[in-house]
A = this chain, B = another copy of it.
Amino acid sequence: MTEGWSKKVFLKLNPPAPEDAVPLQERILRGLGEKEAVRIRPAVLGEAREILKKSGWAATAVMVFDGRGWELLRLEAGDTVREHFGLCVDLGSTTILMELVDMNTGEVRGRENMFNPQIAFGEDILTRIFYTKDEPEHRRVLQKAVAEGFGELMARLSEKTGADAFSCAAMTVSGNTTMIHFLLGLDAFGVFQAPYAVETLAPDVCRGEELGLPFAGVVYCYPALANYLGGDIVSGMIATGIPQREEICVFLDVGTNGELVVGNKDFLLAGAGAAGPALEGGVVRTGMRASRGAVDRVFTEGGCLRVHVIGEGRAEGICGSGIVDLISELFLNGWIDIRGRIGEEALPALKTPEGPAVEYAPGLYFYQSDIDEFVKTKAAAMTMVEYMMGLIGLSMEDVGRFYVAGAFGTHIDKEAGVTIGMYPDIEREKIISPGNTSLAGARKMLLDRSNREKAAEILERMEYVQFGAVEDFIHRMTAARAIPHTDLQRFPSVAERLKERM
């Protein structure tokens, strides 16, 4: 049976009697029947008798694992074992996602998200880091911002689920190194500045109160491998189970950063690159988030581009999945060539003062430079994958599972992804969109504490690959800077499709 970071045990104790006058502490411990010592703080013990008396000596022990052993967080009158909840968090620089999880069943009872309130102090991470540099007070401001964010999410979860999120006994957090530093009130300057010595990659378990959270329980933060390979990736490993798999897996997390793991039960290679924003539409002039008004699907009908707009209204821009579709369709229709160059005879092509472009929706243009930027980024990502596969003497064809984590992976069309060479041309069921693995890993950790040892083992096994140090990386990247690749033979299904369309 798995055991989470908190547990509840219903105690039906005998009230003290002449023949059984053991101290209250011993009485509770005896009721708990733990083999190992359970710490009971004076304040908790001081309230225990009143609670037990009022409840007829029937109460529920709420226990937390403090990193070293169990501790009695409090007693609750009566049997509350069935109301046992925990919190898991994906702490992103842009978005914070929190779930309230039933610790008995593992069921997610509620999920809430919000923009990270730290955005007020800098949209991007670097601005926030500079805000705190040499300003301990500003570190506290950022910590307070995120703590208040957590509080708001907890309030919303309480309201929506009817459970009291504030009385949860354990919280697990997955986030990148900077975000974890800010949560802990630490200076994150080392993340970005040479010699890149951060404050911690493996923070100890602490109490919510230590972080200013409105929460008495324990907080576990996933440890990180390196500055740019945060706990969110380790969490992703726990979520996908890659480190235990037979097949060789590729794990690509497209977010603000692009993080990559290649491995299985025998090896784990990890690396990171600034691949994210471009793929998500961040550098595309009309790019936008996947929200109302975003083109999220592009297809060809009667020789013309057609689009689907989120919310079914007027198109206002294009999001990641739309971009992938668009480039795929442009390529399959022969409107851009293998280099991504917009052909002069392309149907939707036009010349604009800013150079060649494609009008993908009324008044909305996708420029040559947008295509170039996108292709460059996907080339970088794919080159990282290929390079890593090469390190172990394998090529893309040997990929057993290709995970694309995050919202990006969830929404892009697999076929379009293969067509533009963002995904390898492997059996489609091997291409997996596991969704938010950072959150899923945090949830798994919350419910099963043995994952802590697994996380430590992953860090032990994982080797960090510095792409900047690779000599022929630029050369390789140039080769990948084609649609789908300079070597079309590597993408037989795309070649097939091209033939069909012609």
Interface residues of A, Cβ cutoff 8 Å to B: 16-18, 20-27, 37, 39-43, 45-46, 48-50, 67-69, 136, 139, 184-187, 190, 194-204, 206, 210-211
Contact = CB atoms under 8 A, between A and B. Distances in A.
B45 A200 contact: yes
Given A16-B190, A68-B69, A204-B39, A45 B199 contact: yes
A23 B140 CA distance: 20
B49 A187 contact: yes
Contacts of A17: 195
Contacts of A194: 18
B198 A42 contact: no
A41 B196 contact: no
Given A39-B67, A40-B204, A187 B25 contact: no
A22 B190 CA distance: 10
A18 B195 contact: yes
Contact of A210 (B41, B67, B195, B200): B41
B42 A211 contact: yes
B68 A199 contact: no
B23 A200 contact: yes
Contact of A45 (B24, B41, B186): B186
B26 A201 contact: yes
Contacts of A200: 23-26, 40, 45
A39 B207 CA distance: 13
Contacts of A190: 16, 23-24
Contacts of A201: 23, 25-26
Nearest to A24: B199
A414 B494 CA distance: 106
A165 B69 CA distance: 31
A39 B200 CA distance: 12
Contacts of A206: 41-42
Contacts of A23: 190, 197-202
A446 to B, nearest CB: 20
Contacts of A27: 197
Nearest to A22: B197
Given A67-B39, A68-B68, A187-B46, A16 B197 contact: yes
12 contacts: A16-B190, A24-B198, A25-B199, A25-B201, A26-B202, A40-B204, A41-B206, A42-B186, A42-B206, A45-B199, A68-B68, A68-B69
